[in-house]
Amino acid sequence: MMGRAPPPLNALRTFEVFARHASMTRAAAELCVTHGAVSRQISALQASLGVRLVSGPRHALALTEAGAQLAEQLTPAFGAISQAVDDVRRAGGREIEISCLGTFALKWLIPRLPGFVEAHPEVRVRLSESYAPVDYRRDRFDGAIRIVEPDQLHLRTESTRFMGQHQGPVGSPALMANLTTFEAVAAAPRLRSATFRQAWSVWADLAGLALPTAAEREFAHNHSLVEAAISGMGVAIAPWAFVAPDVMAGRLAAPFGFVARPSWFAFLRPEGRKDAAVDAFRDWLVAEGACSPPAPIPSKGPGG
């Protein structure tokens, strides 16, 4: 007796992508199709199965219980297919995609990357910028570099710490030369990034200082924040890893040094996934982190 024909694979794939993103728009972007095409594929799948998989208004669709059950099974299944395809491609070289904080990639990772390429010419590294939490039920990259806080959990990941976290006030040499006391630093124009709005208060707490309330100029990303500090627009509280090249080259000054934070830089990879190329990249990160120039400790003023 013949069984029922399975639903179209393309419709299943489209539904799985929608379920991961919980968004028609983001699903359409990943699949390089229109919003309408995603909607039609999901409608066709529901008709084929005779089960409602999504409900709610068109602009805020949510998975039904049946939809959630199906998505939970489809995501690892399509992940296994992707892994199988990657495995057969390895004979001709391996490309790994690493999700990374944008400023960390620009200031720390990319300048060191030629060393990895020279040591592992068979591995191609593709970087994608992201600050979003890592979730390997949804994300398709091979590894991610993030700043990890002590209370953060990353489900279904293997986490490898490769470098500590330090932060401190930086500004143009001309500006910082006139800021010889904490009061002067506190009175200077403050810069911050939208990705870490509490930078000033966190630094003040770590340094054991009382920070007066003041307006702060915000930038969307840390690399814009660093450039604004270089230009003399104000003082930024920034991680040492983001500003080390500019401090060492004299484009930024950090006379008050950097204080240690309880967070760290970590490499996050899918739990249980064996991959020699990712192993090599992880081990290289650990080695590079160990020989990275240490952050200057506070030498005067705040915390000194």
Question: Rounded to 5 degrees, what are φ and ψ at 31?
Answer: -90, -5
Q: Which option is the CATH number for 166-262: 3.90.870.20, 3.40.190.10, 3.40.50.10320, 3.40.50.360?
A: 3.40.190.10
Residues of the chain with CATH 3.40.190.10: 91-156+266-289, 166-262
Question: Rounded to 5 degrees, what are φ and ψ at 268?
Answer: -110, 125
Q: Which option is the CATH number for 91-156+266-289: 3.40.190.10, 3.90.226.10, 3.40.50.300, 1.20.1250.20?
A: 3.40.190.10
Q: Give the gyration radius of the chain's Cα atoms.
A: 24
Measured distance CA(254)–CA(247) in Å, rounded:
7
All residues at 6 or more sequence positions from 114 whose CB lies less than 8 Å from its CB, including other chains: none
Question: Rounded to 5 degrees, what are φ and ψ at 227?
Answer: -65, -35
State the fold for domain 9-88.
Arc Repressor Mutant, subunit A (1.10.10)
For every one of its 304 residues, what pLDDT tens digit does the chain have, with 9 covering 90 and above? Answer: 455 677 888 889 888 988 898 888 888 888 888 888 888 998 888 888 888 988 888 777 888 999 899 988 888 888 888 777 766 655 556 899 999 999 999 999 999 999 999 999 999 999 999 888 888 878 889 999 999 998 887 778 999 999 999 999 999 999 999 999 888 888 899 999 998 999 999 999 888 888 888 889 999 999 999 999 999 999 999 999 999 999 999 999 999 999 999 999 999 999 888 899 999 999 999 999 999 999 997 654 444 4
Residues of the chain with CATH 1.10.10.10: 9-88
Q: What is the pTM of this model?
A: 0.69
